[in-house]
A = this chain, B = another copy of it.
Amino acid sequence: MPADALLALEPRKTPVQARSAVTVQSISEATIQVLLSQGAERLTTTRVAERAGVSVGTLYQYYPNKRSLLFAVLENHLNKVAARVEAVCESARHKPLAGMIQEMAEAFVDAKMERADISVALYRISTGLGGPLLVKQVGQRLRRAVEAMLGTATDAKSPPDKFAVEIMLSAMGGAMRSLLEAGSNPSPATVRKAREQLVLLCQSYMAAATAKRV
């Protein structure tokens, strides 16, 4: 993996004037709008700029290329989801294992579902160099938050297993992706059931994985 792979994805400059902050924000939002309304294939920098009400040139003053724009939007979304789960992990410490897991899993499902459309749209662009890497990084961050939480479980038999936590998180992610990509707009009933089942999946797996460690 080239060391400078992510270099070209860095935003180009930090706005110093007030008005440009607005511009950057509007470009970011326009990207999602276009992604949702036209699809990933029809997302062009020109269209994004148009939607944002600025010229292409302006877009390129803040993002060195198209990929960096998509990358920034993806990063932003993943960070939001991660932050939310981390917050829950923080507040769910010092409880029994099952309760912790439940809160964490539900937070994950809710975060993804809240902006289901964005989630689906971003699956389309999470491919390609940089995407998986970013997903991995955020995954690690989430794992650490979960591990820290699990370490405070009032009924833990043994410290949590790093690999197992990763498996659990990616399994949840995969199930959610499958659900979201299957058809647009799952019914509330489906969502409720999914949440319930994912909680069960995580709880039973964590219980089994922890027990095994004895």
Contacts and interface: CB of A to CB of B under 8 A. Distances in A.
B179 A175 contact: no
A171 B168 CA distance: 9
Interface stretch (A21-29, A68-76, A149-157, A190-198): A190-198
Contacts of A15: none
A136 B167 CA distance: 22
Interface of A, secondary structure class, is helix
Interface in A197-214: 197-198, 200-201, 203-205, 207-209, 212
A201 B205 contact: yes
B212 A128 contact: no
Contact of A163 (B39, B139, B163, B197): B197
B132 A182 contact: yes
Contacts of A179: 170
A128 B200 CA distance: 31
Scoring A1, A129, A132 by chain B CB atoms within 10 A of each residue's CB, the highest score goes to A132
27 contacts: A39-B129, A40-B127, A40-B128, A132-B181, A135-B178, A163-B193, A163-B197, A167-B175, A167-B197, A167-B201, A168-B201, A170-B174, A170-B175, A171-B171, A171-B172, A173-B178, A174-B175, A174-B176, A197-B209, A200-B208, A200-B209, A200-B212, A201-B205, A201-B208, A203-B208, A204-B204, A204-B205
Contacts of A172: 171, 174
Contacts of A208: 200-201, 203-204
Contacts of A128: 39-41, 124
A182 B166 CA distance: 11
Nearest to A166: B178
Nearest to A184: B1
Contacts of A135: 178, 181
B201 A201 contact: yes
A84 interface: no
A164 interface: yes
